Amino acid sequence: MTAKILVGPAGSGKTHQCIQRVLEVLNENPMGPIWVIVPDRLQAYAFRGRISVAGGAIGVHTGTFGDLYHQILWDADEPVPVTSDPMAQRFLQDSIRRVEGIEHFAPISDMPGFHKLLAGTINELKLARVWPDDFIEWTEGQPDGLGEIAQIYRAYQANLADIGWADSAGISWLATESLDGDRSLLHDWPLIVVDGFDSFNGSQRTTLRILSQRSPELLITLPGQEGMDRVAHRRFAKALEGLEAELEAEIEFLPRKETLPPSLDHLEQSLFVPEATPISTGDRLTMLEVRSPREEAREALRWLKSLIIRHGIQAHECAIVAPAPERYRAFLREAGLEFDMRLRFTHGESLASAPAIAALLDLLALPLTDYPRRLTLEAVRAPYFDLKSLGLNRADADRLDVVSRQGLVIQGLDQWEGALKRLALIDLPAAGDKSDSEDGLDLPSGEAATSLWVGLQAFSERLIMPEEGTTQSYVSWFEDLLDDLQFLKEDQTPGDEAAFEGLRGVLRALVLGESVAGEKKTTPMAFFRMLRSFLERANYRERVKWTDSVVLVLRVLEARGLRYKAVAVLGLSEGLFPEVEREDPFLREEMREALGLEKRLEREQGGLFYQAATRADEHLLLTRPTLADDGEHWEPSPFWIAVRAIFEDEPRLLRLGEPRAMADAASMEEALFWAVRRKALPGAYSEDLIERWDYLRRVSPMLHARLEKKAAGPFEGILDGLADQLNVRYGLEHVWSPSRFEAYGSCPHRFLVGSTLELEPIEPPVLGVDARQLGSMLHEILEQAYLNATDPTDLAQVLEALGEVSEEIFAQAPDRYGFRPTALWEVEQDQFRAALEESVEGLDQEGEGWTPIAFERPFGMLGEPPLQMKIDGERILVRGLIDRLDQSVNEQIRVVDYKTGASHLNSRDLIIGHRLQLPIYALAARDALSLGDPVDGFYWAILRAEAGNLRLGKFKHETQVDSYEGTTGAIALARKHVRRIVSGVRGGQFPPIPPQDGCPEFCPAAAWCWRYTPKSW
Ligand code: SF4
């Protein structure tokens, strides 16, 4: 029995030595059996390949520690079924329920996040060989909660023992127990090799100790070098120390081999060595700084593609090491698709995030959440289901969308039913080319609406789960549903296939879990929650054949053992790699140490970086993002700084818009993009790209215009070429309104989009009253309250009338104004009523000496003459509705305009031309309605019950040439603005000019305007 530990730096030939030893032993024992234990399947596959090429695969078993444990139990005639992860999760949930008196964790005991953390802790305790009873004893006197974790751990383990199963961590216990108990086991294994590890957990160390006593020869490799005193080797030094404490072994240090290019060799030797003399990176090591992780992903794949094409390196000889895989996965996938490069991610994604599974979960949630509008439309539209057998098809989603907006469907099957049944009673003519609905789709009515409701009803009935049942009965209902809805029957992508397979695995685990743990009645909601939590915890991975030549994307921990010709290590900025270390939420650092668990802090991530950076035999790329998500500078990571310190050359910084060599383009899209930047398409690309190039040439002036600081030209709303048509449309007979003037005054482009093109955003229905509806409602109540009072100057009478009027109008408001009240509608009514009462009282105080003489007084409509503004000898017609007109004893008048909110009611808004209503109304009262001389006017903010700051009578504004004072001055200034606005509209001047405090959300162009500026608060 000999045990040997081979320690050598990266690239020193440790695996090669293992293979040589395997071949030598095979020579003497041709059928072995020889065992080679490696950290993961990837390494097992690679080792098998190498040993086959060397001519010795027969008689050699290559696998992980888990495989070894199974073999031991098999040989001991004690095979044990092992739970899958979802099954283990099921047992854990069951165990939590079984433990009585949980208090500390009671509020979160049902949460998937708690289950996940707990499963991790139990797994770690098991791997460290901390038995449940020992842990219970250990937790006595420890802080609250730890005792509860210990109880759950014991219940979980008892659960497994009761049914004679083990989980993946527990199988090591059983295997080592068998080994301890049966000395005949493994006696015929002449050699056991353990290769590719850089650390071992407690369970693995114990196994190695027993193997060292049992097997004739045990050969273990570790990275490092004699002395193990370098920072880069600390992690391995600890692993060696742990082995030395556990087993007696001869340690052999392998010398370095100078087979690597000079810069990679220097990196291996000098990383984290302060006194190292810097050398040049040469052409084999590239350090690249780019703006973002997305660009890192693109540049890494471009770099690899160039090596594959120009240097003949095969894709499977390349690897990308990405910390924080969730951050990089989407970017790598996106660039891989564009660059036509296949990637194999070694880490899976949450099954619940697979689009088909997410759609399925949303579908199941429909009856539980009572058919919310968006989820219902998405379920009908989803490409993963076929609802024809229920009478619905995907195009019906658009029809239901129109129905939902017309019928204000927000949530609830009864709302869908109400909206569709109302439409079924009428028969609208087909709209043909010009539709009544906003998006060009006919509003279904009559039979079409009936058929939609029949389909939706059948769909909803099919989704009703049994009220109560076992998990197994819910699963079988669910499987029937998948069949009925033809789930994923058409156009499956490889990702869909993998997700579907994962789903089947989860369903199997749910059934199996129940059959071994015992049947229990559950409810639809509990089943849905359990399924969702299992799907969130389960991973899926798109299948790629091992034989396919693809670029590997590895997590940091997987970057060990194997070597590649080209490796890109991403994410060398602060917080990414090394990743931020956080304390274990259950076990503090000193507790972990006492229990023999690996530390969470000071995890020697330097050793992991050493491993990742020394995987390349020929080419290495190190990248880092320089701009954080918030746009701030992103500091380099200590690893980046350490590499920089040992090389002379500065890293390459890729700047935004930096010209690139066309030959470096990794896709046609990129070639086209760079050609546009260079303003020339090289002849070599003409054949493929000329059509798109011509198109881009046509649209490029548009893009340039929009990127200019100052709006100019036809693509920025300067439509002077249309002046003739605009002069006709907005000619002498055109009747303007103050709100149109104001729209142009605040942003000419908003006027173009909203008034000239008459575009309106299509908004989904929302619960409750919107700002426009509220404004109309409050205006109506105030008008009616004053009209109903016999004496509108008598406060008590107006308040009494207000009470009656508001009650009546509020009661009819949902139908009249078309909104679906929220549960707070009653409370809102009280608040609005209180604000209106305050307003009436406030207006009464303002009203001393004034008598209201008109409410909602029109001009230019309802038979009243328009205001005719004579400007530059031209007549401009204006119409409007004056909220209120007051008269003084000497027959002067003032205008009052109600506003719901209190913003933009200042003098400045008139000065800059954003608010023109008040002076125009004053002018209309005098010139169009002949009501007297206007001497004052103000805006009244109803909900604030106060007047705005602009008072026509006190208005004052001076420029270098003009002076404007009082109501006459305000009118003169408004006329000046009107002149500017009318001539701008007629002259086709519609540049987008965001208002100083940001664009209003109600601007019809807000969703797509390239100059949109959010509101500043
Ligand atoms: S989004 Fe802003 S800049 Fe664009 S049209 Fe609307 S208000 Fe003008």
* Span 697-706, pLDDT tens digits: 888 888 888 8
Which atom of ligand 1 lies nearest, measured to the CA of 995? Answer: 7
> What is the predicted pLDDT for the residue at 31?
77
Closest CA to 700 of 686, 717, 683, 680: 680
Distance 908 CA to ligand 1 centre (A): 20
Which atom of ligand 1 lies nearest, measured to the CA of 998? Answer: 2
**What mean pLDDT is predicted for residues 156-171?**
89
Question: What is the distance, to the nearest Å, from the Cα of residue 475 to the centroid of all Cα atoms in its chain?
Answer: 30
> What is the predicted pLDDT for the residue at 709?
87
Which atom of ligand 1 lies nearest, measured to the CA of 1012? Answer: 1
Residue 435 has pLDDT above 50, yes or no: no
Distance 749 CA to ligand 1 centre (A): 6
Distance 752 CA to ligand 1 centre (A): 10
Percent helix, strand and coil across the chain, each to the nearest 5? 50, 15, 35
- Supply the residue whose CA is at minimum distance from atom 5 of ligand 1: 750
Q: How far apart are CA 798 and CA 788, in angstroms?
A: 8
Task: List C-alpha distances in Å: 412 to 409, 703, 778.
Answer: 8, 45, 29
Which atom of ligand 1 lies nearest, measured to the CA of 747? Answer: 8
Q: Using the structure block, give the residue that is written with the tokens 């260079």.
A: 678
> What is the predicted pLDDT for the residue at 439?
52
Distance 882 CA to ligand 1 centre (A): 28
pLDDT digits (tens, 9 = 90+) for 620-675: 999 999 998 888 999 999 999 999 999 999 999 998 888 889 999 999 999 998 98
pLDDT averaged over the chain?
Answer: 91
**What mean pLDDT is predicted for residues 668-687?**
87
> What is the predicted pLDDT for the residue at 440?
55
CA 1008-1014-1017 angle, to 5 degrees, is 165
Distance 710 CA to ligand 1 centre (A): 14
pLDDT digits (tens, 9 = 90+) for 493-548: 888 999 999 999 999 888 887 887 778 888 999 999 989 988 988 889 887 776 77
Distance 928 CA to ligand 1 centre (A): 33
Q: Which two tokens mark 96? A: 């939590």
Report the first-to-last Cα separation within the chain, whole angstroms: 77
Burial of 321 (0-12, 13-18, 19+ CB in 10 A): buried
Distance 971 CA to ligand 1 centre (A): 27
Counting ligand 1 atoms within 8 A of each CB, the residue from 706, 752, 1003 with the most, and so the one to mutate, is: 1003
Which atom of ligand 1 lies nearest, measured to the CA of 1010? Answer: 4
8 A C-beta contact, residue 639 and residue 586: no
Phi, psi of 258 (to 5 degrees): -90, 65
Phi, psi of 469 (to 5 degrees): 180, 175
> What is the predicted pLDDT for the residue at 436?
45
**What mean pLDDT is predicted for residues 117-130?**
91
Q: How far apart are CA 67 and CA 516, in angstroms?
A: 24
In sequence order, the 6+-apart residues with CB closer than 8 A to the CB of 798 are: 785, 786, 789, 792, 840, 844
Distance 709 CA to ligand 1 centre (A): 15
- Supply the residue whose CA is at minimum distance from atom 3 of ligand 1: 994
pLDDT digits (tens, 9 = 90+) for 771-783: 889 999 999 999 9
Residue 580 has pLDDT above 90, yes or no: no
Within 13 A of 289's CA, how many CA atoms are on the CB side?
A: 17
Q: How far apart are CA 927 and CA 929, in angstroms?
A: 6
Q: Which two tokens mark 991? A: 């540049």
Q: How far apart are CA 554 and CA 346, in angstroms?
A: 6
Buried b (16+ CB within 10 A) or exposed e, 373-384: bebbbbbbbbeb
> What is the predicted pLDDT for the residue at 441?
65
Closest CA to 4 of 158, 267, 162, 191: 191
Q: How far apart are CA 496 and CA 498, in angstroms?
A: 5
Question: What H or E segment, with its residue span, contains residue 344?
Answer: strand 343-345
Q: Which two tokens mark 128? A: 């460290």
Distance 903 CA to ligand 1 centre (A): 18
- Supply the residue whose CA is at minimum distance from atom 7 of ligand 1: 999
Question: What H or E segment, with its residue span, contains residue 137?
Answer: helix 132-139
Q: How far apart are CA 365 and CA 717, in angstroms?
A: 46
> What is the predicted pLDDT for the residue at 1?
64
- Strand ordering across the sheet containing 735-736: 735-736, 874-878, 867-871
Which atom of ligand 1 lies nearest, measured to the CA of 994? Answer: 3
Q: How far apart are CA 823 and CA 827, in angstroms?
A: 9
Counting ligand 1 atoms within 8 A of each CB, the residue from 710, 716, 747, 914 with the most, and so the one to mutate, is: 747
Closest CA to 169 of 89, 63, 272, 66: 66
> What is the predicted pLDDT for the residue at 687?
83
Q: Which two tokens mark 802? A: 């207000």
Q: Using the structure block, give the residue that is written with the tokens 């060696």.
A: 240
3-state secondary structure of 467: coil
Alpha-helical regions (H) of 317-445: 325-338, 355-369, 373-381, 396-406, 413-424
**What mean pLDDT is predicted for residues 829-848?**
92
Q: How far apart are CA 281 and CA 161, in angstroms?
A: 58
Distance 441 CA to ligand 1 centre (A): 28
Q: How far apart are CA 809 and CA 826, in angstroms?
A: 13
Which atom of ligand 1 lies nearest, measured to the CA of 1006? Answer: 1
- Identity of the amino acid at 827: V
3-state secondary structure of 801: helix
Distance 750 CA to ligand 1 centre (A): 6
Distance 757 CA to ligand 1 centre (A): 14
- Identity of the amino acid at 467: E
Residue 114 has pLDDT above 70, yes or no: yes
Counting ligand 1 atoms within 8 A of each CB, the residue from 759, 914, 1013 with the most, and so the one to mutate, is: 1013
Counting ligand 1 atoms within 8 A of each CB, the residue from 999, 1001, 1002, 1013 with the most, and so the one to mutate, is: 999
Residue 603 has pLDDT above 90, yes or no: no
**What mean pLDDT is predicted for residues 16-40?**
91
> What is the predicted pLDDT for the residue at 519?
82
Question: What is the distance, to the nearest Å, from the Cα of residue 797 to the centroid of all Cα atoms in its chain?
Answer: 57
Distance 113 CA to ligand 1 centre (A): 44
pLDDT digits (tens, 9 = 90+) for 784-807: 999 999 888 899 999 999 999 999
**What mean pLDDT is predicted for residues 66-82?**
91
- Identity of the amino acid at 71: Q
Alpha-helical regions (H) of 575-685: 589-595, 605-613, 638-645, 668-678
CA 843-809-903 angle, to 5 degrees, is 45
CA Rg, the chain, in Å? 38
Q: How far apart are CA 612 and CA 558, in angstroms?
A: 9
Question: What H or E segment, with its residue span, contains residue 221?
Answer: strand 217-223
* Ligand 1 first shell, C-beta below 6 A: 747, 749-750, 992, 994, 999, 1003, 1005-1006, 1009, 1011-1012
8 A C-beta contact, residue 375 and residue 369: yes
8 A C-beta contact, residue 895 and residue 856: no
Q: With cut-offs at 50, 70 and 90, classify the pLDDT of residue 434.
A: very low
8 A C-beta contact, residue 294 and residue 322: no
Which atom of ligand 1 lies nearest, measured to the CA of 1013? Answer: 2
Distance 994 CA to ligand 1 centre (A): 5
How much of the chain exceeds pLDDT 70, in percent?
98
Distance 746 CA to ligand 1 centre (A): 9
Q: With cut-offs at 50, 70 and 90, classify the pLDDT of residue 589.
A: confident
Which atom of ligand 1 lies nearest, measured to the CA of 1009? Answer: 4
Which atom of ligand 1 lies nearest, measured to the CA of 993? Answer: 3
Distance 907 CA to ligand 1 centre (A): 23
Closest CA to 427 of 415, 441, 444: 444
More confident: 762 or 912: 912
3-state secondary structure of 120: helix
8 A C-beta contact, residue 351 and residue 361: no
Counting ligand 1 atoms within 8 A of each CB, the residue from 715, 1009, 1010 with the most, and so the one to mutate, is: 1009
Residue 438 has pLDDT above 70, yes or no: no
Q: Which two tokens mark 844? A: 């009464």
pLDDT digits (tens, 9 = 90+) for 180-199: 888 888 878 899 999 999 99
